[in-house]
Structure 1
Amino acid sequence: MRLSNRNKASVYNFMHSLLLMLVVFGIAAFLLNEYRFQAVGKESYVLLILPILLLVVFHLNGRQIFEYDSDGEALNFKNRNIIPFMDKALHDEFPKYKLIRYEMVSVFFIKRLYVTISSKNSGSTILKYEISYLSQKEVNDLKISLNKVVKANEEKND
């Protein structure tokens, strides 16, 4: 099964650009209000805080683009940011038989996928992927696919 939200990259780029413009305009409006017009009192800090808070939330959600491929004998995970220099892109590929378990954690608006794989050196390794920008249908499809792999691995080991 293949899962990707790469086609939404233009939407995420637009949202990021819009948030950056809001921050710049908010700073300009704040400075104009403070030093020139004094039209708004202490409420002018909202012009700074709100756009910056929205931009921070956008980046705290993590990497926007998530790709998953379970076709063949290997699992392939890719997780990257729309802005290449912001974060290092994650790319992991390993055989299906190494998958031990997975866990999806959701806190407020942040969703993470923790994948535990068997490793020669340390016994097991946990890989973390950010899936906040996946739709609920995509998350459900991912769960179904990973459940199939985990179940097949459990049957082989028994």
Structure 2
Amino acid sequence: MRISNRSKISIYNSINMMLVLILAGGIFAFLLEDRFNLLGDFSYLFIVIPAIMLVAFYLIGRQIFEYDSDGEALNFRNRNIVPFIDKPLSDEFPKYKLISYEIVDMFLIKRLYVKVSSKNTGSTMLKYEISYLSKKEIKDLKFSLNKVVTTNNEKKELIK
């Protein structure tokens, strides 16, 4: 199963550009505030509110998430639309190494934690930001990962 929100890059770029332009307009309005006196003592809000909105857009998480479970491996890719803000994540490992997963939903922020078996440390926890996935995409992701975890658990039971 493949899940990707790469087709929404243009929407995220538009939102990003709109927020940057609002911030630039806020800075311009702040500099001209003494001439028009629109907000009086609260003129700093022209800069603070757009800056908070822009920071929130990036703190919610990386915008682009791609998942591929076709074949014998699981592929996860997570990246930002602005390449220099965060380092992109890219992991590929065999399906049999997947131990468990957990999706944490904290208001606007959604994270996927994947536990993978490892020779050196026993297990490794991988973290992906899935805040920008739709509910249907998250449901499909859960279905696919449940299927892999169930298959792995059944194989472990057969070995015992």
TM-score (structure 2 length as normaliser): 0.95
Once residues 123 and 115 of structure 2 are traced to their aligned partners in structure 1, the CA distance between those partners, rounded to angstroms, is: 6
Once residues 146 and 91 of structure 1 are traced to their aligned partners in structure 2, the CA distance between those partners, rounded to angstroms, is: 17
Once residues 145 and 79 of structure 1 are traced to their aligned partners in structure 2, the CA distance between those partners, rounded to angstroms, is: 18
Once residues 8 and 38 of structure 2 are traced to their aligned partners in structure 1, the CA distance between those partners, rounded to angstroms, is: 40
RMSD: 0.9
C-alpha deviations, 1:74-117, integer Å up to 9, x for none? 00000001011111110000000000000001111000000000
Once residues 144 and 109 of structure 1 are traced to their aligned partners in structure 2, the CA distance between those partners, rounded to angstroms, is: 22
Alignment of 1:68-79 (within 5 A): 68-79=67-78
Map of 2:144 onto structure 1 = 145
Map of 2:13 onto structure 1 = 13
Alignment of 1:55-94 (within 5 A): 55-94=54-93
Once residues 39 and 147 of structure 1 are traced to their aligned partners in structure 2, the CA distance between those partners, rounded to angstroms, is: 56
Which amino acid in 2 is paired with 1:3?
I
Which amino acid in 1 is paired with 2:80?
N
Once residues 39 and 13 of structure 2 are traced to their aligned partners in structure 1, the CA distance between those partners, rounded to angstroms, is: 32
Could you tell me which runs of 5 or more consecutive residues in structure 1 were left unpaired when the two chains were aligned.
none
Map of 1:2 onto structure 2 = 2
Once residues 86 and 41 of structure 1 are traced to their aligned partners in structure 2, the CA distance between those partners, rounded to angstroms, is: 35
Alignment of 1:83-122 (within 5 A): 83-122=82-121
Which amino acid in 1 is paired with 2:52?
L
The DSSP-based 3-state class of the residue aligned with 1:13 is helix
Map of 1:131 onto structure 2 = 130
Which amino acid in 1 is paired with 2:61?
G
Once residues 39 and 62 of structure 2 are traced to their aligned partners in structure 1, the CA distance between those partners, rounded to angstroms, is: 37
- Give the fraction of aligned pairs with identical amino acids, expressed as a percent: 64
Could you tell me which runs of 5 or more consecutive residues in structure 2 were left unpaired when the two chains were aligned.
none
Q: 1:43 deviation in Å?
A: 3.1
Which amino acid in 2 is paired with 1:22?
I
Q: 1:49 deviation in Å?
A: 1.6
Q: Please identify runs of 4+ aligned residues in structure 1 that moved more than 4 A.
A: none
Once residues 88 and 16 of structure 2 are traced to their aligned partners in structure 1, the CA distance between those partners, rounded to angstroms, is: 18
Once residues 55 and 118 of structure 2 are traced to their aligned partners in structure 1, the CA distance between those partners, rounded to angstroms, is: 35
